[in-house]
Amino acid sequence: MRGKMVKLRLLLVVVLVVVSVPGAHAQCYLLNANSKCEVCWKTVYGDFTDKIGVTTMDECPSTIVETWDKPLPQEMVALQEYMVDYSLSLDLTKIEIVKQGDNHVPHANIHSCIAAKGACTPFVSDSPGLATHTEALVGSIDKTGRATFTSAVKLTVEQYTIIAHIRFYVKDNNHPEAPAIKYDVAIGASRIVTRPTAAVSADSWITTGIVV
């Protein structure tokens, strides 16, 4: 009886831990490629000699919103170019952007990762057989806190996790003398790219003897 009570208590502890951990929802597209929420990678630097920083990942706060404005179509054909629009919206009453050179957004593009090869993050390199990147863009955030980007996506036959990656920097209000905090934001989508359907001409039908 005592053994059964111990096992029951252990089971209750495990259940409480699983329920209490804010894990699944926080990782958005990393758990469900078509999830609507964004993932934020936040990198804080100790000082200006720190080139690596400490990076943490979580669901983005409500002050940071990324959206697919013109998403990729559900049905995609290999080697056909598709235009995709995506945007970043920030609450400028709570976030102070730090420009990098002349740009509020020093990097924005689309990453298309082969789904079977693992998680697709902003840090997966542009590598044949693993992932492809569109051209990196830069941009400005308007007075409403919004920046919009357009990229052209062309892929080969495969199943992909596709993310829109946007990077920007904000002032560290807790340590005003410290380097700016870097944010890498991404939203995802799952797509299967299929082979194009071959068009059969009348001459082809005649050659095969179907048309007489």
Q: What pLDDT is stored for residue 5 in this prediction?
A: 43
Task: Quick: pLDDT tens for 11-56.
Answer: 333 333 333 333 334 479 998 888 889 999 999 999 999 999 999 9
Q: What pLDDT is stored for residue 173 in this prediction?
A: 87
Cα separation of 153 and 80, whole Å? 8
Q: What's the pTM?
A: 0.81
Task: Quick: pLDDT tens for 136-151.
Answer: 999 999 999 999 999 9
Residue type present at position 170: V
Cα separation of 148 and 159, whole Å? 26
In 3D space, the residue among 77, 82, 37, 76 whose CA is nearest the CA of residue 60 turns out to be: 37
Residue type present at position 171: K
Question: What residue ranges of the chain have pLDDT lower than 50?
Answer: 2, 4-26, 205, 208-212
Contacts by residues 92-100 (CB-CB < 8 Å, ≥ 24 positions apart): 92/141, 92/143, 92/144, 92/145, 94/63, 95/63, 95/64, 95/145, 95/170, 96/170, 96/171, 96/173, 97/141, 97/168, 97/169, 97/170, 97/171, 98/169, 98/170, 98/171, 98/180, 99/169, 100/169
Q: What pLDDT is stored for residue 94 in this prediction?
A: 96
Pairing of strands 181-194, 75-77: parallel
